């Protein structure tokens, strides 16, 4: 089998239906046979691992188990991956047919780049999850919140800071309160080491934006997200002015949502802000 050019490292737990869409998009890629899929299934029943075994892609693939936490799973996957370029798709994202091929072509042309980030959008083309910039720019300490999310990052293995590049104390499923920021932490460490990462907004990665379909559990989730982001600002000594601006927008949004009767969303915004303050101060919320 031909050596892979890119490894997709996916950590998943209990979502085989969503994963099926990701696998279908990999099969439809114009470079499908050069893509390695590394799936780390953290669920008890291993349903996602069985799905991959039952419908293997045309390129190489492998499955593994790990303890809980997205960062733990991704580190296990990175250790198994064989390609010189790594990506970290969420199990509920998927790719247009040309995205991965275009990423590889860009990295082949621009050997100076440590990586590339695309834009996450919904299936009908709306921005997903972030307020994405609409122009190509280098990813920086000032704009990373508008130019990158885990599913949009494509990094050269040679640019990673270690063989287990994700901090396992941060991110979804991690112990404690720091429920977000693991991909940004990695990105900022790559940049601090001198790596250049280009944001290319016409490189699309699909993911549904379901922030309006929420429950009360979303409030607790956003509290942990906030702690993770506050910790990120503290660890990397990022701009306090930028954090203030980011928080002011969230506070204003909470007021608008409360006025519209969107009480759970308003509460989630305030929980996020409480988490940001706690994370930045280095205390529990």
Predicted pLDDT at 257: 87
Predicted pLDDT at 123: 93
In the chain the domains, ranked by start, together with CATH numbers, are 6-207 (3.90.550.10), 217-281 (no CATH)
Residues 100 and 108: beta-carbon distance below 8 Å: no
Which residues are CB-contacts of 123 (< 8 A; sequence separation ≥ 6)? 206, 208
- In a 3-state reduction of DSSP, which class is residue 23? helix
- Give the pTM: 0.94
- Say how far apart CA 264 and CA 70 lie, in whole Å: 26
Location of structure tokens 């910790």: 231
Residues 48 and 41: beta-carbon distance below 8 Å: yes
- In a 3-state reduction of DSSP, which class is residue 73? helix
- List the chain residues with pLDDT less than 70: 1, 210-213
Cβ-based neighbour number of residue 179 at 10 Å: 25
Cβ-based neighbour number of residue 262 at 10 Å: 17
């Amino acid at each position: 089998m031909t050596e892979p050019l890119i490894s997709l490292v996916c950590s998943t737990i209990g979502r085989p239906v969503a994963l099926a869409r990701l696998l279908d998009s990999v099969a439809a890629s114009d470079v499908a046979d050069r893509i390695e899929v590394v799936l780390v299934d953290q669920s008890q029943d291993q349903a996602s691992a069985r799905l991959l075994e039952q419908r293997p892609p045309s390129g190489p693939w492998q499955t593994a188990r790990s303890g809980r936490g997205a960062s733990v799973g991704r580190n296990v996957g990175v250790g198994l991956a064989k390609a010189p370029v790594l990506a970290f798709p969420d199990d509920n994202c998927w790719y247009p047919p040309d995205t991965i091929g275009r990423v590889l072509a860009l990295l082949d042309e621009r050997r100076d780049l440590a990586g590339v980030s695309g834009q996450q959008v919904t299936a009908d083309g709306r921005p997903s999850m972030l307020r994405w910039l609409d122009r190509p720019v280098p990813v920086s300490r000032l704009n990373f919140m508008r130019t990158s999310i885990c599913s949009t990052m494509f990094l050269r293995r040679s640019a990673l800071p270690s063989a287990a590049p994700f901090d396992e104390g941060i991110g979804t499923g991690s112990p404690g309160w720091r429920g977000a920021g693991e991909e940004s932490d990695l990105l900022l460490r790559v940049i601090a080491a001198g790596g250049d990462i280009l944001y290319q907004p016409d490189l699309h990665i699909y993911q549904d934006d379901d922030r309006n379909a929420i429950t009360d559990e979303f409030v607790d989730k956003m509290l942990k997200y906030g702690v993770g982001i506050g910790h990120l600002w503290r660890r990397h000594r990022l701009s306090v002015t930028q954090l203030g601006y980011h928080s002011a927008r969230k506070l204003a949004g909470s007021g608008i949502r409360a006025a519209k009767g969107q009480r759970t969303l308003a509460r989630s915004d305030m929980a996020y802000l409480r988490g940001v303050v706690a994370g930045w101060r280095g205390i529990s919320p």
